[in-house]
Structure 1
């Protein structure tokens, strides 16, 4: 594929000699047209040196295409090497990472993320990542930093790779906490990790928000009531529907889909594990494109009751 074409003219009497010459030298003649007693035509710029051996009179008119602008700049005393470097940098910025930016408030975490990004092959001048690869990195980082990070997003803008996060609020728990554990949302019980307390539900039970999961009250063999500390986690499958939208502009539909999917996934709870992900629909109007996705998540639904709750 040529980056430019030269426009020439020859007199009418030389046209047959031109065609024979082009056939012998394998020169591509394009848009051959007759005007009055002259013929005009284009040839690829890279063949101009071959065409210079044509032994009949001809007139060079102009060059069209990208090369025209490069030659114009070079005629203005701009170093041609600078033009090539500029064009190369524009092309490279579309394919390679030129900067990595960590947006967060914990310096130690920021530094560790730089190290972990290198393990993910995210380095300066490495290739930009696909939407699928960005999602894999996001999932890995959510697992690695689940104890430190509440929200996290991984994305690219131009040639800059971004990791953005917010610090997890550390809840101060008393040494002996006697508060019951309740369900903070609806779900189906999957498993337990309870160190202390009396479990009130069974695996595969469907619970609603506010149901008692682990109690601080036990009855001894002497039929005596005893209050004990409560500590542990109750994991359940939860069922959620998310949607995201972008403006409807001329974009590749696959890129729009992955952009919306990554936006939705970044809003999932940091400690949740995706069990099922079902795309419900992707709709398009004149103003926006919307994606709806249904998730089955595995997450800890246990939450402490109020300080002043009555003992059970």
Structure 2
């Protein structure tokens, strides 16, 4: 929390009777700190902001010193070279904040990166330059490069413009299908990532392989069925037991355990797609029998169960 005392206090000294001093302080509602009564004087601290009020109320008061950040600032301003340094720093800060020093172009294809750079030069954006209308620059680029760039975005990071883009040859146009999403294996639904289609099941519901999870049929306002596009994935928790073995050897048991566990994880994740992961791992068996080391691991997997593998 902001404390005004940390900003700075004035140290005052005044020669007057204590009763008179207290009466004046109360009458003018002065906010004072650390009051000390000495034999011939009264010493106290007050906010710098109250200096005018104290001079008016306690005309005999003498300003002894100023403490805190404001005192440092006032002392600095009395020295010309510090004041000059402060002004130069403020000027440099203003100039830098209003100047674009670099333009960072990010995206696929060096050819298109050079094309954007040369187009910026033609449009008059040669660094360093005074900060301009970023939205206007983006609009001009999009118009000039509409036949080459599928997507373009521009934003500012300090004294730098950042331009990201996707060339048309890299842009993938996704064609929506009207096929329902069907469960490819048993599991408990964990999450729907569906942008089109009608959900048939709920989160935490157990489903079997072959059951419909997202339908391609919707009911319109008249209660009639209408075909709709389907897009998305359904993630579920599924279970899998993995059994791995290796010949018995002289390696420490901890290394044998580690090797088998890594192999089990590799097998469990063989058909993983983006977003799939191992949720839980439970080792059911780790034993040696007749010159063979065996491990059985029970896995709970978080998987997309609607995309054929």
TM-score class normalised by the smaller sequence: 0.3 to 0.5
TM-score normalised by length of structure 2: 0.41
Larger Rg: 2
TM-score normalised by length of structure 1: 0.41
